[in-house]
Amino acid sequence: MQAWKNSYVDHPAGVTDYIRFGSGERTLVMIPGLGDGLATVRGKALPFSLLYRSLARDFTVYVFSRRRELVPGMTTRDMAEDLYCAMDALCIRNAAVLGVSQGGMIAQWLCLDHPEAVRRLVLAVTAARPNPTLEEVVTGWLEMARRCDFKAILEDTAEKSYSEKRLRSARTENALAALLTRPRSLERFTIQAQSCLSHDAFDLLGGIACPTLIIGGREDKIVTGQASREMALRIDGSQIYMYDGLGHGLYEEAPDFLGRVSDFCKR
pLDDT for the residue numbered 2: 60
Give one DSSP letter per residue of 190-201, joined into a string.
Answer: HHHHHHHHH---
pLDDT for the residue numbered 167: 82
Contact partners, residue 143, CB within 8 Å, separation at least 6: none
Report the candidate in 169, 199, 151, 168 with the shortest Cα–Cα distance to residue 33.
199
What total of structural domains would you count in the chain? 1
CA atoms of 222 and 164, how far apart (whole Å): 16
The single-letter DSSP state of residue 202 is G
pLDDT for the residue numbered 180: 64
Antiparallel, parallel or unpaired: β 59-67 and 14-21: antiparallel
pLDDT for the residue numbered 178: 63
Task: Write the pLDDT tens digit of every residue in 183-241.
Answer: 778 999 999 999 999 999 999 999 999 999 999 999 999 999 999 999 999 999 999 99
Report the candidate in 65, 48, 57, 63 with the shortest Cα–Cα distance to residue 26.
57
Cα–Cα–Cα angle for 111, 224, 153, rounded to 5 degrees: 95
Can you give the residue range of the structural domain that contains 27? 4-266
CA atoms of 16 and 177, how far apart (whole Å): 24
Q: What percentage of the chain exceeds 90 in pLDDT?
A: 88
CATH of the domain at 42: 3.40.50.1820
Antiparallel, parallel or unpaired: β 212-217 and 239-243: parallel
Beta bridge partners of 120: 96
Report the candidate in 251, 162, 183, 229 with the shortest Cα–Cα distance to residue 40.
183
Least confident of 75-89, 163-177, 226-240, 249-263: 163-177
Do residues 59 and 96 touch, judged by C-beta distance below 8 A? yes
pLDDT for the residue numbered 173: 78
CA atoms of 252 and 175, how far apart (whole Å): 18
